[in-house]
Structure 1
Amino acid sequence: MAERRRIIEGSWNCTSCGARNIPARHKNCPSCNNPREFSGKESEFDFGDVDAASGKSTREGVSDEQALGMAGAGEDWFCAYCGAANRGDGARCRQCSAERGSDAKTAPLADLGPKPPPKPAPQPRRFGKVALIVVGILSSCCLGTCAVGIWGNMKHELKGEVVATNWRRALVQERFVPETRSGWRDELTPTAPRMPVNGTGEVAGVTNIRDCVSRQRGTRRVADGTQRVCRTKTRKVACGTEEKCTRRDKGNGFAEEVCHDVTKYCNESYEDCDTETRYRNEPVYAQQCAYDTYVWKPVDTRELKGTEGPPRWPDLTAGTNERVRREEDYSVLVRYDDGGVKQHEVKPTREEEFVAWKKGQGVTLTVTNLGKVEQAVRR
C-alpha cells in the first residue's frame, strides 16, 4: 500500500505582544519582532485538528521550497545567551551571533497521536423545590438512622417488681388406634403392627394393601423431537479500504504526516442456526393404594392452673394401648417504670425456675433506649 507524505506547518502565539496564529516559518513575531523563545508558550505549536475517522490533518500541506527547507533542517535550538529560536542546521544564533554550544536547548516533541474524544460536559442538575426537600429529608434520615441505631442499642437498668405468677399443667391421654391411609404402592412395605407396652415400643405397621388405582404422581421432562433455532449475530468483514494518517512533530514548528490505505472493516449481520432438542413435560403415573395402620390419637385431656404454690399435675392414667403426654407452661409478670408503667413477661421453662419467682419480689431489668428488655434478674 503506497504511502503519501506531506509537511504540515504549525503556528505559535507571541507572549510579548499577544499576536496569535503566527506561521512556524517566522522565528520572530511579525508584529513586535521579538524572537520566539523557549520559555512560556512560544515553544508550543498548534498543528490544527484532524479528521476523527482517518486522523488526517484538516490543514493544507506546505509545498514551497522555503518551508520545506525549514522543515528538513532538524529540530530548532534555543540560544543559551539570548533565548532566541534558531534553525536546527544553524551553527550560530541568528539573533546575537553566539556560537551554538552544548548548553543550547531544544523544545520537547509534542505527541501528535490520535486523542480520545472529549467527554461531554456534565449537564447541570435541576432540582425542583420538592426534590430538594426530599433530598434533604433523605440525607437527614440516613444520618439520623445511624445515630438512632447507636442510641437505641444503649442500655440502662431499671427496678421492677413481680406482680403475678401463673402456671398451667395438662395431661393428654393418647390411644394407639387403627386408621386407614393411602400411599404409593412402591413406598409401602407390608409390616406387622406391634402394640405399645407402657406407652412405648409400638410399630404402626402396614397391612391389607388394597384398592390400588393409577393416579398422576408428578411430571418428567422428555425429548419431543428437534427444532431449528436461528439467532441474528454480527461479525466484522472486509469492505474496501480507508485512509489512515499519523503525524510526527519534527521539533521545528513543522510536522510530517504519513497516510496510507488500510483494509476497512464493516459490521455484517448473519443468521447463526443450530438444531436443538425440544422438550415437553409428561405426566408420571403410579399406583396409589389404601392400607391399614395404627396412629396415636388424643382421647382425653385434663388440665390444672394456678397462680401461687407449687404446680401440680392432674389425675389421669393410661390404659391398655395408651400413653399420657405432659404439657406445662409458666409465666411471671414483672411491672416496672420506664417513662410510664410497663410490664414484662418472663417465661421459665422448668418448675425449678418458676418456683424461684415470688409475688412482690424485686427485679433488676436491663432495657435498651428503644424499650426492649434484654434481661430480668431477681434481686
Structure 2
Amino acid sequence: MAKRTRIIEGTWNCTSCDAKGILARHKRCPTCNNPRELSGDESDFDFGDVDAESGKSLREGVTDEKAVELANAGEDWFCAFCGAANRGDHPRCKHCNAERESDSKVGPRKDLSGPAPAPAPPPKKKPRLGGWLFLGALLLCCFGSCLYSGWSNQTHDYPGEVTGTSWKVAVVQERFTRVEKEGWADELRQASARMPVNGAGEIAGVENVRGCVERQRGTRKVADGTERVCRSKTRKVACGTEEKCRRRDKGNGFAEEVCEDVTKYCNESYEDCQNQTRYRNEPVYARRCTYDTHEWRKVDRREASGQDGAPRWPALQVGPQDRQQREETYVVNVRYEDDGVKEQVLEPKTESEFLSWKKGQGVVLTVTNGGEVKKAVPR
C-alpha cells in the first residue's frame, strides 16, 4: 500500500524571555534574539497532538521549501563554546563562528512512535486533619488490641478451696429386641441373628425377607432426542481500510510522519449453533422388602443425684439379652481470691476424676489476666 510522508514542525519555548510556541526553524528567539540552547527546556519540542484512532498529527504539514530543506539538514548540534543550536549541515557555529567539534552534543530525540501521552492526573488533595485522626485512632486500636491480647493471656496461680461437690448419674437398661424393618432387596443379605452374652457379641441379623413390592427408588437421566442450541458470538472480520500514521523525531525540531492505509477489522456478530442431546428424568424402580432384625431398645432408666460424696449408682435387674449404659455429670465448686472473692465451676469427666475432689480441700488455680481458668490442681 502507498505510503504518504509529511514533515511536521515543532515549537519550543525560550527560557530567557519566556516566549512561547517558537517555530523550530528559528534557531534564535524572535523576541530576545538569544540562541536556542541544549540546557533547560529549549530542546524539548512540542509536535502537537495526534488523532487517537489513526495516530495522524493534527498539525498541518510543512510545505515551505526552506523549512523542508532545514528539516532534511540533519540533527541540530550545539556549539561547545557558546551553547547555541546550529543546523546539522553547518560546519561552523552561526552564533560565535567556532568550528564544530567531533564531540559536539546533539539534541535529545523524543520517542514519537507510541500513542500520545495521557494527561497528567490532577494533584492529590492534602488529607484533612480528620483523616489523620481516623488513621491514628485505627492504628492505636490495632496496637492496643495486640497489647491487650498479650496481657490478657498472661497467667497467675491463686490458692483456692473446694466449697462443695455434686453429682448426677443414671443407668439405662437396653434390651436386644426383635424388630421389623424395610430395605431394598439388593442390599439385604440373609444372616442369622446372634443374641448377646453379658451385653456384648450380638449380631442383628437379616431374616424372614418377605412382602417385596416395586417402588420408585430414584431417577436417572436418559437421552430424549436432540435440540438445536444457538449462542450469540462475535468475531473480527476485514471491513475495508483505515489510515494509520507514525512519527519520528529528526533531532532538529522537525518530525517525519509516515501514513499508510491498512486493513481495518470490525466486530461481526454471528450465531454459533450446535445439535445437543436433550435429557429427561426417568424413574428407577426396585423391590422394597420387609425383614426381621434386632436392635437395642431402651426398656428402663434409673437416676440418682447427691452432694459431697461418692456417686451411688441405682441398681437394675439385667436379663441375659440386656445391657446397661451409664450417664454421669459431675460438678466441683471452687472459691478463690483474685481482686476479690470469685467462684469457679469445674466439671470432671469421669468418676475417678470426681473422687479426687473433696469439700474443704485446697486447690491451686492457674488464671489468666482475662479471668479464664486454665488449670486447677487439688492440694
Q: TM-score, with normalisation over the residues of structure 1?
A: 0.89
1:97 aligned onto 2:97: yes
1:39-118 pair list within 5 angstroms? 39-112=39-112, 113-118=114-119
- Quote the residue 1:247 is aligned against: 247
* Aligned residue runs from structure 1 range 142-291, under 5 A: 145-291=145-291
Contact (CA 8 Å) 1:365, 1:375: kept in 2 or not?
A: yes
Give, as a single letter, the amino acid of the residue that structure 2 aligns with 1:10.
G
* 1:302 correspondence with 2:302: yes
SS at match of 1:348: coil
**Mapped partners of 2:226, 2:140: distance in 1:** 60
Q: 1:152 to 1:207 in 2, by over 3 A?
A: same
> 1:317 touches 1:324 (CA, 8 Å); kept in 2?
no
Structure 1 residues 157-206: Cα deviation after superposition (integer angstroms, max 9, x where no partner): 44332111122333322222211111112111222222222222222222
Question: What is the match of residue 363 of structure 2?
Answer: 363
CA 1:248 to 1:151, structure 2 compared with 1: closer, same or farther past 3 Å?
same
Distance, in Å, in 2 between the alignment partners of 1:114 and 1:26 is 28
Counterpart CA distance in 2 for 1:108 and 1:178 is: 101
- Note if contact 2:172-2:302 (Cα within 8 Å) is conserved in structure 1: yes
Instruction: Give distance in 1, aligned partners of 2:148 and 2:280.
Output: 56
Deviations 1:40-69 (A, max 9, x none): 111111111111111111111111111011
SS in 2 for 1:40: coil
Task: Judge conservation of contact 1:45–1:253 (CA < 8 Å) in 2.
Answer: yes
* Count of residue pairs the alignment pairs up: 376
Q: Residues of 2 paired with 1:98 and 1:133: CA distance?
A: 64
Kept in 2, the 8 Å contact 1:75–1:87? The answer is yes
AA at the equivalent of 1:114: P
CA RMSD of aligned residues (A): 2.8
1:139 CA drift (Å): 7.5
Residue 300 of structure 1 deviates from its aligned partner by 2.3
Comparing 217-226 and 332-341, the one that deviates more: 332-341
In the alignment, structure 1 residue 8 sits paired with structure 2 residue 8 = yes
Gapped runs of 5+ residues in structure 1? none
Kindly state the Cα deviation for residue 306 of structure 1 after the two structures are TM-superposed. 2.8
Deviation at 1:136, TM superposition (A): 9.4
Shift of 1:106: 0.4
Q: SS in structure 1 opposite 2:106?
A: coil
Q: Give the unaligned 5+ runs of structure 2.
A: none
1:227-274 superposed Cα distances (whole Å, 9 cap, x missing partner): 211111111111110111111111111111100000011111111111
Identity %: 65
Cα separation, 2, equivalents of 1:154 and 1:70: 84
Alpha-carbon contact 1:73-1:87 (below 8 Å) kept: yes
Q: Distance in 1 between matches of 2:286 and 2:141?
A: 60
- What's the CA shift for 1:119? 7.1
Indicate conservation of the 8 Å contact 1:206/1:291, yes or no.
yes
Cα distance in 2, alignment partners of residues 158 and 5 from structure 1: 94
Which whole-Å deviations, capped at 9, do the CAs of 1:77-126 have from their partners, x for residues lacking one? 00000111110001111111111112311011111132354476599799
TM-score computed with the length of structure 2 as normaliser: 0.89
Q: Which moved more, 1:92-101 or 1:214-223?
A: 214-223
Give the Å deviation of 1:214: 2.4
SS in 2 for 1:67: helix
- Select between 204-213 and 6-15 the one with higher mean Cα deviation: 204-213
1:271-298 CA-partner distances (Å, limit 9, x unpaired): 1111222223322222222211222222
SS in 1 for 2:42: helix
Q: Which letter does structure 1 place at the counterpart of 2:115?
A: P
Would you say the 8 A contact 2:74–2:87 is kept in 1? yes
